[in-house]
Amino acid sequence: MLRAALLSACLSAASATLFSLAKHGADGLVLLRVAPNGARTAVGPPFGNASFTPTQGVSAVDAAARVLYTILADEHAHNKPSLYGLSLTTGAIVTAVPLPLVNGDSIGEGQVIGLVRATGDVIVAGSDDKGGVGVYAVTPASGSIRVVAELNASAVQISPGCSHVAHDPATNELFFGGYDTGDYSRLILRVNLATGALKRIANPEGHRISGFSFDEVTGTVVGLGSRGEDDEIILAQINTTSLATTVFGAVPSVADSSSGLEALDAAAGTLTWLGGNDTDTPFSLIVSELRAGAPVASSVEVCATFDSCDLLTLDFAPDA
């Protein structure tokens, strides 16, 4: 009811297009528009080459600038991560900024990205070249990088499978998933963008929240998570003031495994995610509604298996 009331106060809810950075064989990568039926249309020509390694699921869209940001590593540059910006109009690279992050054995694991909409700064976090976990604000136009926080890697790490940072403009805080390196308990990491102060928030009992997107309609953070010994997939909402977590419900049995790719369409009140029942079975784009019961609005098979899937990221951008 709250979402419906808030949306009714708007003159109209703008439609949005789903974008994805995708594999393109030996040609490297390509930016796609993905239709509700799963059909792909290239925004522009492929770019890069087979040496480019994207960080799975890590992307953020600046709707005002019409740019999709992602983190890519180039094996010809010793797999050093860089922030790349791709035009949503032409698919061309419009910015590339080397980052003070390092890759481990698994490229991109533990790296997350988000956007500060008011300034256009891109937030990136991950293992840094000082042996810690760095949180940075990147200004794409100038390439300048500001250190937001240096987290103690012996105390906390970013959770594998977590790919997004949610920025709440009201509190000026960042929310993303982490874990305690002592007992490996899952945490919600809350970092003040101005001061770098860190607060560690225990996940609700039995719940492991991994997806973090800011819902500007309700002023909350939403995303997928799991619970129980069977890792049942749930859709949850976090109140950024009280930190109360509301579980909309368990996602119906269209999938029992999430790829970590998810995209929020706040105006529509839905979360689109890539999921399946096993990595060697078909994966589908699943649209879950952000309301009690987390009903599935649609499910469309888009990949024969997870390993063969071309889709690497998911993001909505309002239609220009």
Over residues 202-226, the pLDDT tens digits come to 876 667 888 899 999 999 999 888 8
**pLDDT on residue 316:** 97
**pLDDT on residue 260:** 77
Which two structure tokens, joined as six digits, stand for 290?
A: 């952000």
Residue 5 dihedral angles phi and psi, to the nearest 5°: -65, -40
**pLDDT on residue 243:** 85
The pTM of the full predicted model, rounded to 2 decimals, is 0.92
**pLDDT on residue 208:** 80
Contact 146, 137 (CB under 8 A): yes
**pLDDT on residue 255:** 64
Which two structure tokens, joined as six digits, stand for 22?
A: 């995708």
Alpha-carbon span 238 to 232, nearest angstrom:
18
Sign of CA dihedral 275, 23, 116, 89: negative
Sign of CA dihedral 169, 171, 173, 179: negative
**pLDDT on residue 54:** 72
Contact 19, 33 (CB under 8 A): yes
279, amino acid identity? T
Domain hosting residue 271, numbered range: 2-318
Nearest to 85 by CA among 134, 143, 133: 143
**pLDDT on residue 6:** 44
> Which ranges of the chain have pLDDT less than 70?
1-14, 27, 50-51, 76-78, 104-108, 204-206, 252-257, 259
Alpha-carbon span 31 to 86, nearest angstrom:
8
Q: Kindly report the CATH number assigned to the domain that includes residue 278.
A: 2.120.10.30
Residue 1 CB-density burial (10 A; 0-12 exposed, 13-18 middle, 19+ buried): exposed
For the chain, helix (H) and strand (E) counts, in that order, are 1, 26
**pLDDT on residue 230:** 74
Number of domains in the chain: 1
